[in-house]
């Protein structure tokens, strides 16, 4: 009975994974085949080339998705959490790399490139679905991009409600989507069984022999069929490895293969259908329902990448890659469901600008792919360290395996660089800006931390400092928040200026660990410094949001402190630009700007406002 319940739960999660994890890769048939024979990387449409492209798509799915991600990379989870930041933290915790390491730069670039992909995916997915109207009627052609913009605006506007309200629809709708595209794909393929030859890799090899260097450029379009690979890894924490694997092998993979085979069979017999090979698979009376289903599927695909961007931002905040910004939990049951208003509306504006600027999915396909392939390369790079340092695999095996993956990743990535003029510059520029912002924030925080440490005090020197400056003790309890292992500067200012110390002192530090979720039994660490003076450390995982109001109740009982008589003293940094410093002018100004955007730590830590006393600290940078 227990096994039946477990199996039922696994199948339920697999259905949910269809709606969230496979939304991106599941809607790739809308534009992938079309992009191979039209647009930026168009090649001659003939039966041999169709079989060659089909073979490339089939083997890309089998090697990149099945072998690399499902079989190997998804095994490199950080206590159930996946994604490039989680993988970085897993390896970094073992290696103890410095903040200036190549690995940190790679992780920042990978995360920044995912944001670029997150902006393009909703635009190209929704626009491709709406373009299906052109097959049914040409009357709507001039309004295509405006309809797409309206849908995108509604989609982003609904994000604040959270995914729970539409989450139950995701799985069944995507299941219907996969079943329908499989049925009509196989219906087309049986009319031209020749396409089954595409399962032979020799057709892919022969394709390159016949088309030479020019033929290799089609990889820039073929990669569109595997762009959802990173989502499998990034969203693993929501569903688990086994449900995602079940959904992939039982539903998603067979449906995608059948649909691509059906499109290939139709292109061989009806070359004119290249104008929209996906929608031409369906009879006229089903055209409008299919456009509706495709639009819904595209919205789901967009929802997946948007939610991924929110989760990525939450991880980046906890890891200290970006300033603390306002993040809302949209589900009490699932802490991974978050909403980030600032990221949401920035993405909305960029998506709409992309649709209005590029106007067609074939043009957007020129911008699509370069960001996600860059992330794929970086994932392989980090996976190398995972196998060597965490799994302790022999060097020769690791080199052969990651080298094999790198051949595909680098092939896709390098070919996509030819898209720079066709729009590929956009995700690169966006990723560069985001990565530079991350680097600036990490650099600036280290600089400020060093300045504060120079002025700071070791815990061992606390007692002499109190004896030197204290004139009187005052009743009550004071809690001083610290960002490091040093005595907080706010306390030193309070002591040296007011010359008083409270009867009970607590120095409180909130630490974010490299684990997604911290063991609640070890969350609180208490160290006695002196009589009635304690150092309190509260630990959280990088996927958790601190709630000090709740956790401190346990601590106060342990320390026998009255929560009604205790006040929180918080140091507020006031950054001032140092006019006398000639170096890094732009970086210093950017850091001051980013710091001004950061959420107040009190809001982030959820400390009652009426219990807070702020002490300002001016720092020239």
Work out the pLDDT band at 602, boundaries 50, 70, 90.
Answer: low
Question: 82-91, 257-266, 496-505, 508-517 — which one is most confidently predicted on average?
Answer: 257-266
| Tens-digit pLDDT profile for residues 562-601 | 666 677 887 777 788 877 777 888 888 888 888 888 776 6
Q: Is the pLDDT of residue 165 over 70?
A: no
pLDDT for residue 354: 86
Average predicted confidence (pLDDT) for the chain: 81
∠ Cα 25 26 31 (to 5°): 80
Q: Tell me the pLDDT band of 257, cut-offs 50, 70 and 90.
A: very high
Q: Is 328 helix (H, G, I), strand (E, B) or coil?
A: strand
- Cα–Cα distance, 408 to 402 (Å, whole number): 10
pTM listed for this prediction: 0.77
Alpha helices in 329-424 (DSSP H): 341-358, 361-367, 370-385, 395-416
What CATH number does the domain located at 13-421 have? 1.20.1740.10
Least confident segment among 54-58, 113-117, 218-222: 113-117
Q: Is the pLDDT of residue 302 over 80?
A: no
Distances in whole angstroms, Cα of residue 213 to Cα of each of 208, 210, 221, 367, 603: 7, 10, 15, 21, 56
What's the pLDDT tens digit per position in 401-426? 999 999 999 999 888 877 777 677 88
Calpha distance 366→221 (Å, rounded): 8
Other residues' Cβ atoms within 10 Å of the Cβ of residue 315: 23
Q: Where exactly does CATH 1.20.1740.10 map onto the chain? A: 13-421
What is the distance between the alpha carbons of residues 619 and 599, in angstroms, rounded to a whole number?
19
> CA-CA-CA-CA torsion for 139, 145, 147, 148, nearest 10 degrees?
140
């Amino acid at each position: 009975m227990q096994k039946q319940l477990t199996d039922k739960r696994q199948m339920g999660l697999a259905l949910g994974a269809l709606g969230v994890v496979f939304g991106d890769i599941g809607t790739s048939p809308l534009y992938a085949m079309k992009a191979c024979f039209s647009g930026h990387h168009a090649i001659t449409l003939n039966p041999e080339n169709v079989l060659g492209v089909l073979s490339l798509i089939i083997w890309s799915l089998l090697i990149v998705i099945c072998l690399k991600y499902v079989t190997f990379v998804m095994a490199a989870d950080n206590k159930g959490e996946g994604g490039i930041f989680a993988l970085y933290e897993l390896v970094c915790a073992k290696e103890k790399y410095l903040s200036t390491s190549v690995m940190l730069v790679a992780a920042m670039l990978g995360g920044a490139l995912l944001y670029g992909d997150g902006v393009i995916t909703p635009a190209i997915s929704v626009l491709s679905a709406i373009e299906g109207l052109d097959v049914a009627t040409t009357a709507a052609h001039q309004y295509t991009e405006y309809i797409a913009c309206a849908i995108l605006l509604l989609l982003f506007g609904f994000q604040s409600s959270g995914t729970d309200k539409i989450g139950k629809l995701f799985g069944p709708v995507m299941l219907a989507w996969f079943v329908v595209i499989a049925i009509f794909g196989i219906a087309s393929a049986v009319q031209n069984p020749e396409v089954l030859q595409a399962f032979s890799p020799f057709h892919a090899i022969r394709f390159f022999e016949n088309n030479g260097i020019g033929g290799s450029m089609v990889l820039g379009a073929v990669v569109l069929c595997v762009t959802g690979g990173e989502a499998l890894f990034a969203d693993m924490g929501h569903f688990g490895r086994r449900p995602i694997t079940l959904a992939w092998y039982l539903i998603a993979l067979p449906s995608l293969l059948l649909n691509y085979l059906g499109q290939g069979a139709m292109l061989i017999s009806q070359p004119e259908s290249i104008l929209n090979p996906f929608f031409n698979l369906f009879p006229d009376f089903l055209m409008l329902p299919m456009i509706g289903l495709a639009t819904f599927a595209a919205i789901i695909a967009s929802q997946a990448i948007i939610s991924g961007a929110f989760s990525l931002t939450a991880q980046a905040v906890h890891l200290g890659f970006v300033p603390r910004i306002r993040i809302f939990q949209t589900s009490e049951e699932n802490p991974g469901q978050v909403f980030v208003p600032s990221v949401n509306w920035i993405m909305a504006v960029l998506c709409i600008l992309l649709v209005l600027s590029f106007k067609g999915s074939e043009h957007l396909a020129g911008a699509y792919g370069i960001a996600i392939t860059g992330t794929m390369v970086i994932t392989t790079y980090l996976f190398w360290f995972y196998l060597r340092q965490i799994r302790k695999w022999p060097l020769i095996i690791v080199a052969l395996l990651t080298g094999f993956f790198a051949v595909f990743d680098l092939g896709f990535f390098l070919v996509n660089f030819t898209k720079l003029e066709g729009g590929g510059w956009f995700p690169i520029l966006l990723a560069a800006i985001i990565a530079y912002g991350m680097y600036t924030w990490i650099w600036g925080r280290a600089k400020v931390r060093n300045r504060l440490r120079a002025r700071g005090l070791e815990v061992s020197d606390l007692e002499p400092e109190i004896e030197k400056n204290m004139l009187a003790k005052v009743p009550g309890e004071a809690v001083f928040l610290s960002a490091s292992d040093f005595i907080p500067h706010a306390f030193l200012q309070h002591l040296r200026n007011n010359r008083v110390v409270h009867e009970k002192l607590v120095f409180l530090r909130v630490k974010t660990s490299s684990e997604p979720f911290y063991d609640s039994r070890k969350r609180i660490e208490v160290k006695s410094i002196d009589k009635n003076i304690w150092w309190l450390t509260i630990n959280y995982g990088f996927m958790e949001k601190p709630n000090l109001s709740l956790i401190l109740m346990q601590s106060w009982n342990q320390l026998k402190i009255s929560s009604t008589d205790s006040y929180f003293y918080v140091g507020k940094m006031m950054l001032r630009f140092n006019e006398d410093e000639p170096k890094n002018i732009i970086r210093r100004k950017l850091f001051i700007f980013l710091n001004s955007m950061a959420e107040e730590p009190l809001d982030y830590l959820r400390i009652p406002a009426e219990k807070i006393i702020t002490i300002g600290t001016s720092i020239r940078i």
